[in-house]
Structure 1
Amino acid sequence: MNLKSALLALAAAAVATPALAQTPICESQGVTVSVDFPSGGRHTCRVAETGEVTLAVTPEGTPINGSPWYAFRLDAAAATELRVTLDYGEYEHRYSPKLTRDGATWRSVPRRDVIVADDERRASMNLRLEPGATFIAAQPIETPTAVHAWAQQVIVPRGFEAVEYGRSIDDRPLIAYRAGTGTDLVVAMTRQHPPETSGAVAFRNFVETIMADTPQANAFRARHRILLVPMPNPDGVMRGHWRWNNGGLDLNRDWRDFSQPETRALRDLIQSEAQNRRTVAFFDFHSTRRNVIYAPPLDADSPTIDLLPLLRQRLDAAVNPPLPWTFSHSETGQTSKRWALSELRAPGLTVELDDEATVATAGRIGRTVAETMFEYTSR
């Protein structure tokens, strides 16, 4: 089966509900708790005499950034109420819980039903469950299968080629999308860090704006080589990791040593696309505790560094309150942002979305970045 056929099969197989759980890790009051589904969290479980379920939220290794991902499935035999507590150990509560019954429509657990300890190391939920399955997670679950199904619907019809540029440690395909014959290159990526789905929402809106059938988008695609990387860390996503791939490393701290197959393969792909081209911009969409842009200094050695004042002006007008910007560059840094400037002479920008950014806000940021690129490159 070639790559195109494989992706079409993935798209056809993409279902809303995460895979059926197989082995419960505990049971309380007619409710089983399971985690063996794609992106399920790294949890152990204990049940108190009161019936309260406590789930330990465990990272894939230490030391690690405090991004405590959790995802679990509750199967209720009948309508019931259940109290579930997340125990973060030495880490702190970061993500407000979301739930779904169909895997497609996610909503936040009401704030009145979530109690966070004063030291933020425990968070309890009072849940009212319907019969059947309920999934609860730190963020809506977006697996590689779902992401590439979206790409088949949105990106490929615009003439983009799906390219397998390598394999992950777990032997999953690393897939990017590219098109255009222009001498100027634009690179955009997201999900180096598995839980950071609000950044992925901004990325999708960036991409969908570029793929739109408008005069500006059509002209932009015609003039540029475009490289899109929506899932560079599929192992981390599938394994329910907080931060790392399956090689024990934060991939956005491997853009100097390139010790991991995922970053090596992506570096080689970008370099091949950048050969004999000017890289106009390099966007890496992430999530953190606030909306913020990390950018190189305005006097950095890049022929397109003047994109940054324009982008800041347009984002200030689009988003209230305006996003703060941090300007810095370190030649000893290990992030994609540093590598883009040092190796491609491109303004590498890390576009960080608030963990709890609304879909509307994330979408506005992604669209504004794309629209600013239209404006800048048409001058």
Structure 2
Amino acid sequence: MRYLILKITCISLLFAGISANMDLLADSDVTFSTNFESGAAADLKVRQDGSIEFSIPPDPGGDQYLWFYFQVISKKKEPHRFILKNATGAHQTGKRWNITKPIFSADGEKWVRAQKVQYARQVSISDMSIAKVFRFQSPIIAETLYVAYSYPYTNTDLRDYLGTICIDQSVEITKFGSTEEERPIPLLQIDSPREKKIWIIGREHPGETPLSFVCEGMIQALLDSPAGWKLRQSYGFSIVPILNVDGVENGYYYHNTGGVNLARDWEEFSSQEVQSLHSAMLHDIENGRLKLIVNLHSSNDPSKGHFFLRIPENKLSADNALLQKRIFEVAGNYHPQIQGRSPVTLYDLPGITGNALNEKYGVYCLYLESNYSRGADGTIPDPQSWHAVGEALVKALAEVLLSE
């Protein structure tokens, strides 16, 4: 009886535009690889209908997953179609898949977003189950095709970028510690001898790649723009573009190699990365030099653009509550994709970077969540617009901090 019901359901769902899971091909002329920096995917297979099915592997130590990045080599002369079969369990997704448009490249440098996407039910005949899957199609045809959740930004990309700015006399590039896998954690300092300091932290969560382009935009604005120059007359900057170096290297989404969420490790300090960062910041904190921390993250909320996380005012000092309010008020004036006046309250959970540093030291942490897929004005972000968001944030900081 169960088989009969499933069979009838399968037929009706097919007519409703919902696909049945066909048998997978054991052999094909398609090959796959994740054997490169930040590569991540599992169970890559070609189905009988020619589409490519895959899943996202979980991180060490947690069930959060979202990041995928893989290579397809094929002589197929039509666009590849893809099915992400464990989309339902991905981190903070659900309806967010409806705005998600993965990206494609023939050379790993020039990327194009998918246009055809669908988050819908699929019936599996082999195990008699129904589940939602995420379907998307490549807009380009190439013998070698790279596929990613969003624009990749690897440790190599960061090294290449730092190489373009290292000749600036106001810039010092060094390291402040090592990861669990003994990789150095880079530190960029701009005009560090200034009396007051601002720290910028990125990639606590390694799969949140848009923030790296925002970070580049901030750095470039600090070095080149009038607002950046004015800020640097009063503030030195210590910038950690990628804290979770191992996670970026290994294609993780939310954790480090030891399975630790670095964004929630600021009470236990169980990771080498957060231990090292805390030690590096402590001198500025204890000397009263640290004015502000900018903590960059990324999200995929369909109802927002790039938005801020708000620490409740009753948990902040009066000065920091006013600082937070003023930044939220002015930031949206500098870029239409920033949703400055509608912040989301930061989770009141132990060990979160901003909560822990505020409670222990009275240091304010400004959170910006750059959106993978949607700006506040409805436009679709890309590396150029994320760069512009970084520049806008520098302008907002200059307006607020220099008027105090």
TM-score (norm 2): 0.78
Residues 113 and 139 in structure 2, CA contact (< 8 A), matched pair in contact too: no
Match of 1:292 in 2: 307
Give the 3 Å change call, closer, same or farther, for CA 32–223 of structure 1 in structure 2: same
Structure 1 residues 56-135: aligned runs within 5 Å: 56-61=55-60, 63-65=62-64, 67-77=65-75, 79-88=77-86, 90-92=88-90, 94=97, 95-111=100-116, 114-118=117-121, 121-127=132-138, 130-135=141-146
Match of 2:241 in 1: 230
Residues 73 and 134 in structure 1, CA contact (< 8 A), matched pair in contact too: yes
Match of 2:230 in 1: 219
User: Cα RMSD (Å) of the superposition?
Assistant: 2.6
Match of 1:208 in 2: 220
Match of 2:197 in 1: 185
Give the 3 Å change call, closer, same or farther, for CA 343–183 of structure 1 in structure 2: farther
Q: Percent sequence identity over matched residues? A: 17
Residues 210 and 372 in structure 2, CA contact (< 8 A), matched pair in contact too: yes
Give the 3 Å change call, closer, same or farther, for CA 325–170 of structure 1 in structure 2: same
Residues 214 and 388 in structure 2, CA contact (< 8 A), matched pair in contact too: yes
| Secondary structure at the counterpart of residue 58 of structure 2 | coil
Residue 153, structure 1, aligned to residue 177, structure 2:
no
Give the 3 Å change call, closer, same or farther, for CA 310–82 of structure 1 in structure 2: closer
Cα distance in 2 for partners of 1:304, 1:147 equals 32
Match of 1:354 in 2: 371
Residue 30, structure 1, aligned to residue 29, structure 2:
yes
| Structure 2 residue ranges without an equivalent (≥5) | 1-24, 123-130, 375-380
| Secondary structure at the counterpart of residue 205 of structure 1 | helix
* 1:176-209 alpha-carbon deviations (Å, 9 max, x no partner): 1113212211011111112212222222222221
* 1:111-144 alpha-carbon deviations (Å, 9 max, x no partner): 2xx3322488412234476453110000111111
Residue 310, structure 1, aligned to residue 322, structure 2:
no
Structure ID, larger Rg: 2
Residues 85 and 124 in structure 1, CA contact (< 8 A), matched pair in contact too: yes
Residues 27 and 33 in structure 1, CA contact (< 8 A), matched pair in contact too: no
Residues 198 and 356 in structure 1, CA contact (< 8 A), matched pair in contact too: no
* 1:10-64 alpha-carbon deviations (Å, 9 max, x no partner): xxxxxxxxxxxxxxxx986532111111111131223333333211222124643
Please tell me the residue identity of whatever aligns with 2:104: L
Please tell me the residue identity of whatever aligns with 2:401: T
Give the 3 Å change call, closer, same or farther, for CA 132–217 of structure 1 in structure 2: same
Alpha-carbon offset, residue 327 of structure 1: 4.6
Residues 41 and 54 in structure 2, CA contact (< 8 A), matched pair in contact too: no
Residue number among 241, 244, 250 corresponding to 2:261 in the alignment: 250
Alpha-carbon offset, residue 309 of structure 1: 2.2
Match of 1:18 in 2: none
Residue 240, structure 1, aligned to residue 264, structure 2:
no
Structure 1 stretch 75-84 or stretch 193-202: which is displaced more?
Answer: 75-84
Residue 198, structure 1, aligned to residue 206, structure 2:
no
Cα distance in 1 for partners of 2:395, 2:183 equals 33
Between Structure 1 and Structure 2, how many residues are aligned?
349
Cα distance in 1 for partners of 2:141, 2:339 equals 41
Alpha-carbon offset, residue 261 of structure 1: 0.4
Cα distance in 1 for partners of 2:162, 2:212 equals 13
Cα distance in 1 for partners of 2:225, 2:51 equals 53
Cα distance in 1 for partners of 2:249, 2:391 equals 28
Residues 181 and 222 in structure 1, CA contact (< 8 A), matched pair in contact too: no
Match of 2:344 in 1: 326
Cα distance in 2 for partners of 1:42, 1:320 equals 30
